[in-house]
Amino acid sequence: MIDLDDPTALRRGDPSGMLALVEGLGPMVLEGWEAGAAAAPPLRTPRVVVAAGLGGSGIGGDLLEALVAPTSPVPVVVVKAAALPACVDRDALVVACSYSGNTEETLAVFDEAARRGAAAVAITSGGALAARARAAGAPLIAVRPGLPPRAALPLLLVPMLRLAHRLGLAPADDADVQEAAGLLRRLAAEWGPAAPAAANRAKQLAVRLSRALPVVYAATPGLAPVAYRWKTQLNENAKRFAVWNQFPEASHNEVEGWQAPPADAAVVVLRDAEDGARAAREMDAVRALLARQAGQVDDVWAQGEGRLARLLSLILLGDFVSVYAALLRGVDPTPVAAIAAVKRQVQEALPPQGTSAP
């Protein structure tokens, strides 16, 4: 097994530098906020906001919904498909997010928004989405290219948050963004590759999660997209199957499944000091059950003052954990061969352009 404290071994196991990208999430928050200043919302009073995107380009929509839900007077609907819900019309704002600019489903959503007369904003590093936005005269937020989409999260989320702020849907402002960026820089030093495993929470969790089935729980619905991010990062970086869920919903179904638990499971519960008394009592009860059935349960607490900082602190930790888990398993965290293979097979099965399927 690789020594996570050996710089040479880390460089050898991570030739594309995914660890360095995770370390750079803090500065990327500021970069995303600056990028978001380039586009004004094309609709000042939307009845609904749709955040459309998939994979690493889609998690930003989940986080946006969680961040604005406590304050927004209009709903944020997350779309991870090629179709828009029926509620989208001329009073809707559609934010189409595709880091590559070539995600088929997101391009379909952008085109459908135009057909319905909905206002649209594109967030991308280029590709077909940028071209279509320019041709349509739609606001375009162009972000830095050349990254794996999952490593560009702040470049995709934070511009959306700035749009929401300008619409009066989110309280996040310059101070919140500065706090989040500074906190992530500090935590990156604490959890990064130079910090020894003996005092490095990310490396310690990675050892546990690389040896067993990772089960990640959000203590409240507001932390659900963070738990999902942990799960997808373990999928893409560590090439591991993982499970996630949220409370209180899991108390009404999944807890029964722990009567016949998997042979090896490593449970992580994501917590926030603002979860509330009821959530705290529920987590105490759930942890007692899980401790009997799964053994060790790790609580991971959000850090920071503002909600953006707290959510991103948990995401940073999960991203580090996923990369360390990949290195412990002897796999390069950057390539996503299975995803590429599926996309290739789908494209090969499509009829040639200009023809229709039988």
Cis preceding-peptide flag for 248 (omega within 30 of 0): yes
Nearby residues of 343 by Cβ (< 8 Å), 6 or more positions away: none
Sheet with strand 119-124: strands edge to edge: 76-79, 48-52, 92-98, 119-124, 140-142
- Indicate the SS3 state at residue 81: coil
Q: Are 112 and 137 in contact (CB under 8 A)?
A: no
Residues forming the active site: 236, 252, 343
Q: Among candidates 321, 302, 314, which has minimal Cα distance to 227?
A: 314
Other beta carbons less than 10 A from residue 74's beta carbon = 18
Q: Are 148 and 334 in contact (CB under 8 A)?
A: yes
**Amino acid (one-letter) located at 162:** R
CA gap 251, 290 in Å, rounded: 12
CA gap 192, 7 in Å, rounded: 11
Number of separate helices (H) and strands (E) present in the chain: 14, 9
CA gap 106, 156 in Å, rounded: 14
Phi, psi (rounded to 5 degrees) for 97: -120, 115
Nearby residues of 352 by Cβ (< 8 Å), 6 or more positions away: none
How many Cα neighbours within 13 Å face the side chain of 61? 26
CA gap 104, 156 in Å, rounded: 18
8-state DSSP, 167: T
Which residues does residue 92 pair with via DSSP β-bridges, in sequence order? 48
